[in-house]
Amino acid sequence: MRKRNDLVVLSSDGEDDDCSVSSSNRSYSKPKSRSLIARSNPRGAKKARLSGSRSHLSKESSNADEIRFFCKDFDEVFNGFKVSAGFGGSNTKGLWVDKYKPHSLEELAVHKKKVEEVKVWFEERLRSSKAELSNVLVITGQTGVGKSATIHAIASHLGASVCEWNTPTPIIWQEHLHNSSTGINYTSKLDEFENFVERIRKYGLNLSSSTEESKSPTVLLIDDLPVMNGKVSFQRLQSCLHLLVQSTRIPTTILLTDYIKTDSADHSGRCLEELQLCLENAGACKVAFNPITNNSIKKTLSRICRQEQCNTTAEQIDLIAKVSGGDIRQAITSLQFFCLKPDSMHSLSLRDTTTTYSREKPDEVSSMDDGFPLQFGRDETLSLFHALGKFLHNKRDTENAMALDQDEFPLQQRLLRLPLKMDAPEKILCQAHGQARPIADFLHENVLDFMSEDAIGDAWAVASYLGDADMLLSTFRGMLARYNEAENVLQSAAASVAVRGVLFGNAHPLPSRWHAIRRPKLWQIEQSSLRNKNEMVKRRFNGYSRPSFSDFSVVTMEYTPVFKWLGQGITGGLETHQALTQCNETNDDFDKMSLDDKESESTDDEIEDW
């Protein structure tokens, strides 16, 4: 917050200097507003609620910049921002996302139970702030599930004001140059956050205390933690949060957005999980928000349609709701775009005064192609786990609809399978952003759980298909680096073989019931085996008083067991395995945790769909 104020001051100072500086001003103020827009604006609305001085300043600064520098393209959207920031919902223009922002608990599309949970938490904290309760709440959930909207709505319901810390706009290079040329030290986002936390800890929120002086209670909302790269900054952030959790006296909410993790090795995803874990360990409460259900989205969409008087059919709304993937912000944006007509959209960007198009030509909408909204729909992403679930459960139609085909192309009985009750496996893979290697590993880890007791033939068939997939993946290992396409073909072929092999091979799948999907233990094994290997390679030089060294396999297979017999306390015997895996477990703790989380998430809502 402070930083932002500084910036504004800085820019006005800079204008006095000379042209070159002012041009550099220009170049950084532009991206700044861009980034505001990129966040698709609900935050713009939030700013209206911020306590006095700051909102005032930022508005002023943006007004000043806006007139001179903004590209035409952004005009409209920016106006939307201004409108929502300055004049509330009085104008009919603007993004619907802001316009129809929930203002009361009833309008929230979030599940009632979750809202209640958060509300109760706040009530408890606001009632007795001296209690031993921890003052930090962590809310997790994917984007657009109404995390911040819930906080705002609850706060206004309880009559509290929200003070918000946003990740400051990233500093771009020119800005940095300018700063350093004018002698201002670069402060990273992390530094700012640390300062901020330090202040909060020591003085509480002095902003609000100066103006409103305990008239209304304040809650602090920390959205989007600073981006961290590298271990050091990560640890700093971690300890900083830890401090915050333990010392803050104001009810504080931290929002963590789950990105969709296709790859468990994804670094930032891991970091978030680790943070979450660390927050919880420090005593913070955690509430996980699930994607918003189809029905809730549909209800909200129809409400908006009624108010905007656009003629959308129930099917269209249904479609939009479906493709949104539980992201209500996405759904509303889609609806707004859907209700636009291309040519009027054009005019919209040229003339500020154009009224919302949907009002002019409400009948156009229904004539649109039904498939159209899919274009701006959110990717229909399935989580990797859902995709795996589909493959593993291997749901098929119960009766053979292919009776007719059989006559034409006779197949041996043993090769016959009932039709699949799902999309083509490749499509599912694509939706889940599945990589061949992890998919194969996951299938390998889990498939045996989904087989009937005595289907050893099936087990072999599946195992051999997975083996085939592995062979495909390791063919030309690295040799094809130059031929990306061939590599890609291999990858997708391998994924196909793995998935279809599992589907085909498991000829007698178990009737559907709930199974936890485990993370491949294989990864852990590979790591610990590598570690052991390095250990032993090292040891073969210093352990033996011998004039030369022996083959590695000899060390593992012949020397190590003997050392164990002789009780020489050298690790590596099989009993020590327990200890070893345990230490692995602690190392991989957050991995495992994340897995559990994923599991519990999926247990929450989607199991019955599987």
Partner 1 sequence: MALLVDKHRPRTLDNLSYHSDLSARLRALAQSGDFPHLLVYGPSGAGKKTRIVATLRELYGPGVEKIKIDSRVFQTTSNRKLEFNIVASVYHLEITPSDVGNYDRVVVQDLLKEVAQTQQVDLGAKQRFKVVVINEADHLTRDAQAALRRTMEKYSPNLRLILLANSTSNIIAPIRSRTLLVRVAAPSEDEICQVLKRVGEKEHFRDVEALNQKIAKDSGRNLRRALLMYEAVHAQNEVVTEKSLVPPPDWEALIAQIADEIIEEHTPARILQVRAKLYDLLTHCIPATTILKTLTWKLIPKIDDELKPDIIRWSAFYEHRIRLGTKVIFHLEAFVAKFMRVLESYLNGIELDFD
Residues that bind partner 1 (CB under 8 A): 412-414, 440-441, 444, 448-449, 451-460, 462-464, 466-467, 470-471, 473-475, 477-478, 521-522, 525, 528-529, 532-533, 536-537, 541-542, 544-554, 556-562, 564-566, 568, 572-574, 577, 580-581
To the nearest whole angstrom, how small is the minimum distance from the Cβ of residue 584 to partner 1? 9
To the nearest whole angstrom, how small is the minimum distance from the Cβ of residue 511 to partner 1? 15
To the nearest whole angstrom, how small is the minimum distance from the Cβ of residue 501 to partner 1? 11
Of residues 331, 335, 332, 351, the one with CA closest to residue 343: 351
**Closer Cβ to partner 1, 197 or 497, answer by number:** 497
**Closer Cβ to partner 1, 291 or 572, answer by number:** 572
To the nearest whole angstrom, how small is the minimum distance from the Cβ of residue 483 to partner 1? 18
**Closer Cβ to partner 1, 173 or 541, answer by number:** 541
Q: Check if the beta carbon of residue 363 is closer than 8 Å to that of residue 309.
A: no
Rounded Cα distance, 282 and 286, in Å: 11
Q: Pull the structure tokens for residue 401.
A: 């609809």
| Mode of pairing for the β-strands spanning 136-141 and 218-223 | unpaired
3-state secondary structure 174-234: HHHHHHHHCCCCCCCHHHHHHHHHHHHHHHCCHHHHHHCCCCCCEEEEEECCCCCCHHHHH
To the nearest whole angstrom, how small is the minimum distance from the Cβ of residue 449 to partner 1? 8
Rounded Cα distance, 341 and 26, in Å: 34
Q: Pull the structure tokens for residue 87.
A: 């004049």
CA atoms within 13 A on the CB side of 150: 32
To the nearest whole angstrom, how small is the minimum distance from the Cβ of residue 398 to partner 1? 23
To the nearest whole angstrom, how small is the minimum distance from the Cβ of residue 200 to partner 1? 44
3-state secondary structure 290-346: CCCCHHHHHHHHHHHHHHHCCCCCHHHHHHHHHHHCCCHHHHHHHHHHHCCCHHHHH
Rounded Cα distance, 101 and 48, in Å: 13
**Closer Cβ to partner 1, 180 or 452, answer by number:** 452
To the nearest whole angstrom, how small is the minimum distance from the Cβ of residue 460 to partner 1? 4
- Our measurement of the distance from residue 294's CA atom to the centroid of its chain's CA atoms, rounded to an integer in Å, reads 19
**Closer Cβ to partner 1, 1 or 507, answer by number:** 507
Q: What angle do CA 466, 384, 263 make, to 5 degrees?
A: 85
To the nearest whole angstrom, how small is the minimum distance from the Cβ of residue 495 to partner 1? 14
Q: Check if the beta carbon of residue 34 is closer than 8 Å to that of residue 62.
A: no
**Closer Cβ to partner 1, 269 or 467, answer by number:** 467
**Closer Cβ to partner 1, 526 or 605, answer by number:** 526
**Closer Cβ to partner 1, 55 or 475, answer by number:** 475
**Closer Cβ to partner 1, 50 or 536, answer by number:** 536
8-state DSSP, 396: B
**Closer Cβ to partner 1, 321 or 462, answer by number:** 462
To the nearest whole angstrom, how small is the minimum distance from the Cβ of residue 60 to partner 1? 51
What's the Cα-to-Cα distance from 27 to each of 2, 24, 177, 240, 610, rounded to whole Å?
21, 5, 12, 33, 51
**Closer Cβ to partner 1, 214 or 548, answer by number:** 548
Beta carbons within 8 Å of 134's beta carbon, 6+ residues apart: 245, 282, 283, 284, 285
Rounded Cα distance, 609 and 559, in Å: 54
Rounded Cα distance, 146 and 103, in Å: 12
Of residues 150, 391, 162, the one with CA closest to residue 290: 150
Q: In what order do the strands lie in the sheet with 252-257?
A: 161-165, 218-223, 252-257, 136-141, 285-288
To the nearest whole angstrom, how small is the minimum distance from the Cβ of residue 439 to partner 1? 12
To the nearest whole angstrom, how small is the minimum distance from the Cβ of residue 505 to partner 1? 10
134-145 burial code (b ≥16 CB/10 A, e <16): bbbbbbbbbbbb
**Closer Cβ to partner 1, 514 or 549, answer by number:** 549
